[in-house]
Amino acid sequence: MNKLRLCVLAACILPTLAHSATLIHAGTVITAEGKQILKQHTIVVDGDKISAIERGFKAASAGDTVIDLSNQTVMPGLMDMHTHFSTQSSPTTYTEGFTMNEADYALRGAVFARKTLLAGFTTVRELGDSFHISTALRKAIDAGYTDGPRIFTAGTSIATTGGHADPTNGLAYGRMGNPGPDEGVINGPDEARKAVRQRYKEGADLIKITATGGVLSVAKSGKNSQFSDEELKAIVDTAKDYNFTVAVHAHGKEGMERAIKAGVTSIEHGTFMDDKTMALMKQHGTYLVPTLSAGKFVAEKAKIPGYFPEIVRLKAAATGPLMQDMFKRAYKAGVKIAFGTDAGVGMHGDNWKEFLYMNEAGMPAHETILAATIDAATVLNQQDTLGSIKVGKVADIVAVPGDPLSDLQLMSKVDFVMKAGKVYKQP
CATH number at residue 67: 2.30.40.10
Name the nearest CA neighbour of 180 among 156, 193, 161, 200.
161
Asked if residue 3 is part of any domain, the answer here is: no
The residue count for the chain = 427
Distance in angstroms (rounded) separating the CA atoms of residues 269 and 292 = 8
Asked if residue 1 is part of any domain, the answer here is: no
Do the beta carbons of residue 120 and residue 411 sit within 8 Å? yes
The verdict on 66 and 128 lying in the same domain is: no
What pLDDT is recorded for position 397? 98
What pLDDT is recorded for position 18? 56
For 10-48, what is each residue's pLDDT tens digit? 444 444 455 799 999 999 999 999 999 999 999 999 999
At 280, the pLDDT band (50, 70, 90 cuts) reads very high
The verdict on 72 and 131 lying in the same domain is: no
The verdict on 25 and 115 lying in the same domain is: no
Instruction: Identify the H or E element spanning 289.
Output: strand 287-289
pLDDT at 338 over 60: yes
For 62-81, what is each residue's pLDDT tens digit? 999 999 999 999 999 999 99
Total number of domains constituting the chain? 2
What pLDDT is recorded for position 203? 97
Asked if residue 65 is part of any domain, the answer here is: yes
Please give the residue range of the domain that contains residue 64. 17-76+388-425
The verdict on 344 and 219 lying in the same domain is: yes
Mean pLDDT in residue range 237-247: 98
Asked if residue 307 is part of any domain, the answer here is: yes
pLDDT at 156 over 90: yes
pLDDT at 4 over 50: no
The verdict on 303 and 396 lying in the same domain is: no
What pLDDT is recorded for position 42? 98
Mean pLDDT in residue range 305-309: 94
The verdict on 406 and 328 lying in the same domain is: no
Question: What percentage of the chain has pLDDT greater than the value 90?
Answer: 90
As a whole number, the mean pLDDT across the chain is 94
The verdict on 88 and 100 lying in the same domain is: yes
The verdict on 54 and 174 lying in the same domain is: no
Distance in angstroms (rounded) separating the CA atoms of residues 386 and 32 = 10
Asked if residue 394 is part of any domain, the answer here is: yes
The verdict on 72 and 82 lying in the same domain is: no
For 76-99, what is each residue's pLDDT tens digit? 999 999 999 999 999 999 999 899
Global model pTM greater than 0.75: yes
Query: The domain that contains 279 carries what CATH number?
Result: 3.20.20.140
The verdict on 348 and 371 lying in the same domain is: yes
Q: Measured between alpha carbons, how far is residue 354 from residues 159, 350, 405 in Å?
A: 27, 8, 15
Asked if residue 181 is part of any domain, the answer here is: yes
At 5, the pLDDT band (50, 70, 90 cuts) reads very low
Question: What percentage of the chain has pLDDT greater than the value 70?
Answer: 96
Mean pLDDT in residue range 160-182: 90
Asked if residue 245 is part of any domain, the answer here is: yes
Helices 189-202 & 229-241 angle (0-180, nearest 10): 30
What pLDDT is recorded for position 15? 47
The verdict on 58 and 152 lying in the same domain is: no
* 409-412: long-range contacts, CB 8 A cutoff, minimum separation 24: 409/356, 410/73, 411/120, 411/352, 411/355, 411/356, 412/352, 412/353
Asked if residue 11 is part of any domain, the answer here is: no
The verdict on 83 and 58 lying in the same domain is: no
Mean pLDDT in residue range 199-210: 98
What pLDDT is recorded for position 11? 44
For 39-48, what is each residue's pLDDT tens digit? 999 999 999 9
